Structure 1
């Protein structure tokens, strides 16, 4: 099953198991990349489950001010060494990003603007994923918007259909609706939504998701993502051979990580 039971977190999901013609198995490979919300929500049992899944690397898409334990987060024991890479997709101090994206940060409508305004940030996040050791947790705050954008890029590059990418995004929206807000520094209006509001929202934003993944090669061209990175990201989700030795293990923090 794609849903992962890591205690403390909802909306944790393996990007494996989705149909693609680019994989010899016919589906994206499980155990390579997981998507989710802020890792500080994980309990000791959650970290144990994550290691059992094969977690080796974390690519954190958040802004620096969002990182760290909050008072309501669980206290966990020290963890085994884990490669944690900080690769923010945003710069909320950027004037155009503030004006254009900040009002719609909970909508996939902002994804195209993020790529246009801050291509280097998105390109850097893709490179961080390509360079990480497989068994990667990719996450932001709620695991829905920034993580949704990056998941859409990874899945489209791996040959997954727009329909399945849209369904993956919708799963995260449904998972995080009517929950405590995990967003910082902006308010998360979806935290109070009813199922009916979620259904209406998904119908409204569906065209934005479909447009975003319509031509992945053109998108990666605009981002100036080089061929080795594209190939590495595609192989990560489509090559059935063992890739445990791939990735250059670039870490923002070595040794014992903070939880």
Structure 2
């Protein structure tokens, strides 16, 4: 079953369910969706979002543009702006092309576990229903949070990398909305100049990474981790052992 979500007005949406875990299980379909900002959804797009089961939106941006069609009253939107949580000094240190790559992920995870835990805590404590996670284009900040979620769930590095790279499929259409060209090729050249690549930099971020330890250091409780595990994983006894928490 495809994970891509064809909702009217959405370009870069996909369900994080159906991914295999190291314990032999799979992530739960309908639990978490990732996408770009939702301001271009039409009324039909919002209806499709609700029909998919989404009831909470986690926005990793301080604000978005005005919604093209009214946002359903059934949705709760929670904002955890990751850039602002990191502060000006961090943003300045990681500004320019590097901010559009996973190169900054290890530094963010190491220096700001409380911001990651705040974002992930929204999923742990969300009301029943799916949670949609988005930033502006659905790649960098969303990719960082999704990396933590999938690593916590026990998804292997190859599948985490593949999910991140799936965003490249629609990148040109997403950047066109901002009046900008597709930056995938220039960023690949930038990474090559640093002696790395998208895949290699993601694998470096995942090497030795313990998502549960980070989330605990950021302030999540054992109850939060149990709730997050239950949300992310299919209710299979094998899965419940595989989350590393």
> TM class, shorter-chain normalised?
0.7 to 0.9
Q: Retained in 1: the 8 A contact 2:60–2:80? A: yes
Checking the alignment, whether the CA contact within 8 Å between 1:141 and 1:182 is kept in structure 2 is no
Moved more, 213-222 or 167-176: 213-222
Structure (1 or 2) with the greater helix fraction: 2
1:55 aligns with 2:54: yes
Give the aligned partner of residue 119 of structure 1: 113
What is the CA-CA distance between 1:192 and the residue it aligns to? 2.5
* TM-superposition CA deviations, 1:180-203 (whole Å, max 9, x none): 3567xxx97xx4347x66776696
Q: Kindly indicate whether the alpha-carbon contact (under 8 Å) linking 1:33 and 1:137 is maintained by their aligned counterparts in 2.
A: yes
- Displacement of 1:41 in angstroms is 1.5
Residue from 59, 62, 67 that aligns with 2:64: 67
| 1:219 to 1:208, Cα distance in 2 relative to 1, 3 A | farther
The answer as to whether partners of 1:166 and 1:209 remain within 8 angstroms in 2 is yes
Instruction: List, as ranges, runs of 4+ consecutive aligned residues in structure 1 with deviation greater than 4 Å.
Output: 196-203
Contact 1:90/1:118, CA 8 A, preserved across alignment: no
> TM-score, with normalisation over the residues of structure 1?
0.77
Return 5+ residue gaps in structure 1 as ranges.
242-259
Q: Residues 172-227 of structure 1: CA distance to partner in whole angstroms, max 9, x if unpaired?
A: 133213543567xxx97xx4347x66776696122221122232244445535433
Residue 16 of structure 1 is matched in structure 2 by: 17
**TM-score, length-normalised on structure 2?**
0.81
2:4 — aligned with what?
3
Please report how far the alpha carbon of residue 112 of structure 1 lies from its aligned counterpart in structure 2 after TM superposition.
1.8
- For residues 143-180 of structure 1, the C-alpha deviation after alignment (integer angstroms, 9 at most, x for no partner) is 11111111110011001000000000000133213543
* Aligned residues: CA RMSD: 2.7
Aligned residues: 227
In structure 2, the residue matched to 1:109 is 103
SS of aligned partner of 1:138: strand
Output the CA distance in 2 between the equivalents of 1:93 and 1:107. Answer: 16
Which residue is equivalent to 2:241?
A: none
Q: Is the 8 A contact 1:20 1:160 kept in 2?
A: yes
